[in-house]
Amino acid sequence: MYGRTITLFASALLFSALVAGGPLYPPAGLDLSAVDTTTRPGDDFFQHSNGAWLDHIAIPADKPFITEAQRVRDLTEAQLHEIIDAAAAGVAHQPMTLEGKVGAFYKAFMNDPRREALGLRPIEPELGAVRGSKTRTQLAAIMGKSMAGFGGSLFAINIDADLKNTARYAVYLSQSGLSLPDRDYYLNPEFAKEKAALRDYAARLLTLAHWPAPQANANAILSLESRIAAASWTKAQQRDLPKTYNPYTPGDLQAFAPGFAWAEFLKGAGLGGKQRVIVSELSAFPQLAQIFADTSLDTLRAWAAYMTLDTAAPYLDRTFADARFAFRDQMLLGIKQRPERWKEGVKAVSGGDCLGGGECFGTLNWAVGQLYTARNFPAATKAGIQVLVAELMAAYHRRIEHLDWMGPETRAEALRKLDTYVVKVGYPDKPRDYSAVVVRDDDVVGNVRRAAAADWQFLVGRSDGSVDTSDWAMTPQTMDAYNGSLRDIVFPAAILQAPYFDINADPAVNYGGIGAIIGHELTHGFDDQGRTLDASGALRDWWTAADAAAFKERSGKLGAQYATYEPVAGLHIKPDLTMGENLADLGGVAIALDAYHASLHGVAAPVIDGLTGDQRFFRAYAQSWRGKGRDDYIRQLTTSDPHSYRKYRVNGVVRNIDAWYEAFNVQPSDKLYVEPEKRARIW
């Protein structure tokens, strides 16, 4: 499988006739104006590579951060705006075509006078159901229905491949119910202002909705969510896949966690006939069910109303949307002002990157993806990235073959697993069918409700069948990539743009950019989570005890380094939360560098921009992560996100790679220097 590869040098020549123009930053593809020449590479490589850019770049008032990825997102957003705006021009009231439905959805969202005139009326069906609920059983059913629309629940449902029978789907249940980004926000005293802001936000929404005793109910909501937080698992605990696989029948679950009406909950979600569910946070479920049983009906109803309003607020009149922005964007992320309306509209239709909140459901995201790739994803890009993927796969194969800490039994299983990976590029082969989704140009809440229901029904409808291995979990317009449960590495069209992948750029720059991302995603199949899944995708421990111990020792060395990093004053990176991403960052760069060296076939890389090939590779990697964020955003990221803050995704990686020391003449006196025997060497 890996005997024959194509070099990117050859591919660049092959596609040069197909792609006009030069690299984004000529001649090599690096932004040399960004370099801070006053900082030694060995003291702070992130600052050295990006310092001049960081000095002059400003965080936009409507963003929590500014990054290179955000520049690509902005480009994608502009491309989407052009498509969606054109689709909305002259659209019918209730169109039947894919493009017409996208246009009508956007037109409905942008119709501010109608939203103001309607006020709260569009969400009254959901609020009325909550208001009229007389029992906890009825509220459990409403929570189940929220999987397909507005609202919230103490428990979430996901339908994905069964980790013990990967040819079939399974229903997974997990903890939920928190408005703030992480349980730490409720339990740690440094987040007191965020808790107070949540209470005020809940009171504001309930007041706008004319709910009884809004302030008293807001106090009760904060108390309820604090109890939920105390019972919930940490995000680090949730990363232990074997411990999160606990099959139950609904009847057995009722006996295990008796305070909650499980049968009605599943029935409300359209899953009433299921005879098997998988519980994730096992010890939390009885506690959460008891909290549900012990909480007064008035408080549960108020919480359900608040959650309904929170998820619907972006689509209601200005008072609701402004209240949500003030809490979720200004307070939690430090954003200064709301985005332009057209940007909100584009996100409402397309889903954006779906980073959180109500805009992540009830969109026409896959429909928009079809329109986007038809106009913005050239064949040359797909062919070029496939070349790179082949090179990275071959490099990882060679590295596994020669690992000095892995024994032959585990090595054979690892190579077998690597060989099963399928790489998906650009867009899904099977388009999503929107023919039955009704979209009207004057009914934004109804459009969201119907689109969300269609998305959920798509998952429920296939849940009894065989797993569709061609499936995608990320839309083409998403500026990201992932390693999925189907042993697939997925690179949406939006991320395959300069500077991450620039078909006209020097190969070293492409290997340091998208190459490191490809390597990153490959290694996720073998990190502290991925190594618990075998070549079939099944949950199984296929490592020998000795190899598992060696892996733990080496990854622990990396974790100890990351525990010392302090992105904002008083808050350190959590190595148990970020371990998988840290391992993938380190492995991705190591694999991409090997692939770059192999592509040279023994010929010395040319010196371009006064830099050697390895120097261009590492600079490209550092510049791909350039950016800065507001303190509130960095605090939220460090508390709840499995990714380390971007500065440490650069400095924390390069200081463990020998070739970086050689490329930049890093000395023991430099701040990032790590003695060779103390460097983390894993993949």
Domain ranges of the chain: 8-60+377-420+498-536+552-678, 123-296
pLDDT tens digits for 95-106?
Answer: 999 999 999 999
- Rounded alpha-carbon distances, angstroms, from residue 324 to 15, 59, 358, 446: 47, 21, 10, 20
The conformational region for residue 170 under phi > 0 = left, psi -120 to 50 = alpha, else beta, is: beta
In the numeric block, the tokens 């397909």 are attached to 148
- Counting every residue, how long is the chain? 683
Q: Which residue has the tokens 């990697």?
A: 621
Q: Give the CATH class of 8-60+377-420+498-536+552-678.
A: alpha beta
* pLDDT given for residue 18 in this prediction: 32
- Residues in CB range of 306: below 8 A, 6 or more apart: 202, 205, 206, 217, 218, 221
Beta strands in 114-248 (DSSP E): 155-162, 165-175, 246-248
pLDDT value at position 264? 98
CB pairs under 8 A, 24+ apart, for 430-435?
430/468, 430/470, 431/366, 431/370, 432/366, 432/367, 432/370, 432/458, 434/98, 434/101, 434/364, 434/366, 434/367, 435/96
Exposed, middle or buried by CB within 10 Å (0-12, 13-18, 19+), for 464?
Answer: exposed
- In the prediction, which pLDDT does 384 show? 83
Angstrom distance (rounded) from CA 433 to CA 458: 10
Q: In this model, does residue 7 exceed pLDDT 60?
A: no
Confidence band, pLDDT 50/70/90 cuts, at residue 484: confident
Give how far Cα 491 sits from Cα of 28, 72, 262, 386, 423, Å: 23, 14, 38, 10, 8
Q: What is the pTM of this model?
A: 0.91
Record: fold of 123-296 = Neutral endopeptidase; domain 2 (1.10.1380)
* For the chain, percent of residues with pLDDT exceeding 70: 96
The one-letter amino acid at 111: N
**Cβ–Cβ < 8 Å for 657, 590:** yes
For 88-120, letters b (16+ CB in 10 Å) and e give beebeeebeebbbbbbbbbbbbbbeeebeebeb
Residue 251 burial by CB count (10 A; 0-12/13-18/19+): exposed, middle or buried? exposed
Chain centroid, CA 47 distance in Å = 26
Instruction: Tell me if domain 8-60+377-420+498-536+552-678 and domain 123-296 are identical in fold.
Output: no
Q: What mean pLDDT do residues 64-92 have?
A: 94
- Contact (CB, 8 A) for 356 and 178: no
Q: Which band of pLDDT confidence, cut at 50, 70 and 90, is reported for residue 603?
A: very high
Q: Give per-residue pLDDT as tens, 10-26.
A: 333 223 323 446 888 88
Helix (H, G, I), strand (E, B) or coil at 334: coil
Instruction: Round to whole Å and give the CA distance between 508 and 614.
Output: 7
pLDDT at 127: 98
Cβ-Cβ contacts under 8 Å for 300 (sequence gap 6 or more): 136, 139, 224, 292
Q: Across all residues in the chain, what is the average pLDDT?
A: 93
Least confident of 27-41, 351-365, 532-546, 621-635: 351-365
Query: What is the residue type of 114?
Result: R
Residue 387 has a pLDDT of: 86
Of 198, 179, 280, nearest in space to 235 by CA: 280
Q: Report how far residue 310's alpha carbon sits from residue 361's, in angstroms, rounded to the nearest whole number.
A: 13
Rounded Cα–Cα distance for residues 627 and 632 (Å) = 15
CB contact at 8 A, 397 and 17: no
**Three-state DSSP state, 64:** coil
Give kind and range of the element (H or E) at residue 178. none
Edge-to-edge strands of the sheet including 482-483? 422-426, 488-492, 482-483
8 Å CB contact between 447 and 363: no
Instruction: State pLDDT tens for residues 330-389.
Output: 999 999 999 999 999 999 999 966 543 334 679 999 999 999 999 999 888 888 888 888
CA 296 vs CA 11, 209, 217, 291: distances in Å = 66, 20, 11, 10
- In angstroms, the CA 87 to CA 106 distance is 9
